[in-house]
Chain A
Amino acid sequence: KAGVTQTPRYLIKTRGQQVTLSCSPISGHRSVSWYQQTPGQGLQFLFEYFSETQRNKGNFPGRFSGRQFSNSRSEMNVSTLELGDSALYLCASSLGGDPYEQYFGPGTRLTVT
């Protein structure tokens, strides 16, 4: 099976712009989660989608949003970018049930200037 794919791998944006990141999960996986990884804060949970519905959300401002399509592919959007949004954004997919084993993509490195 193909693994989790994320596009683009690298992105440079300017403050105030918006960005959309894409994630394609492993075939058959219905759950997609997004994480932000920074040197200072580590790995932080953004949100999870399951069958096109957001069923879990972390403590991030409303500028961070996401969606999931019927084929389980997911996108996350960040509006009005800030310098602090520079991070590695990781997507993970799982079947959705216990034990909640997640498989991660390579990430999208976002740099905000």
Chain B
Amino acid sequence: AQSVTQLGSHVSVSEGALVLLRCNYSSSVPPYLFWYVQYPNQGLQLLLKYTSAATLVKGINGFEAEFKKSETSFHLTKPSAHMSDAAEYFCAVRINTGTASKLTFGTGTRLQVTL
């Protein structure tokens, strides 16, 4: 069965520091992977997606993620954190259930950015 695991429910970084949010996947077939961000009292916004075209994926707001098959990972990074990056981040995998698809989400990582 396809699934994703996010390591660390809370991550705290200083403004200007590197952001690293971890996601590992489990899939018997090449996966489609996504990162979403959720700001307080809002829905989810798509940050980036991996669809097997390129292993390094660039997204919005300076975020990027690298697909590493050997490590079954799809970690999200940003070189320099901004206060506005404080939010909850979700990794998701597309699950194909035959004639339909759905996204299965990780448990989320709350990012705190401090001065």
Contacts and interface: CB of A to CB of B under 8 A. Distances in A.
Interface of A: 4, 6, 33, 42-43, 45, 48, 50, 55-56, 58, 90, 92, 98-107, 109
Q: Please classify the interface of chain A as helix (H, G, I), strand (E, B), loop, or mixed, using the class held by over half of its residues.
A: strand
27 contacts: A4-B43, A33-B102, A42-B107, A43-B108, A48-B100, A48-B102, A55-B99, A55-B100, A90-B43, A90-B44, A98-B32, A98-B51, A98-B94, A98-B101, A99-B32, A99-B49, A99-B51, A100-B103, A101-B46, A102-B46, A102-B103, A103-B46, A104-B45, A105-B43, A106-B41, A106-B42, A107-B42
Main secondary structure of the interface of B (DSSP, over half): strand
Interface of B: 32, 34, 36, 41-46, 49, 51, 90, 94, 97, 99-108
A100 B94 contact: yes
Contacts of A92: 44, 103
A45 B105 CA distance: 9
Nearest to A58: B102
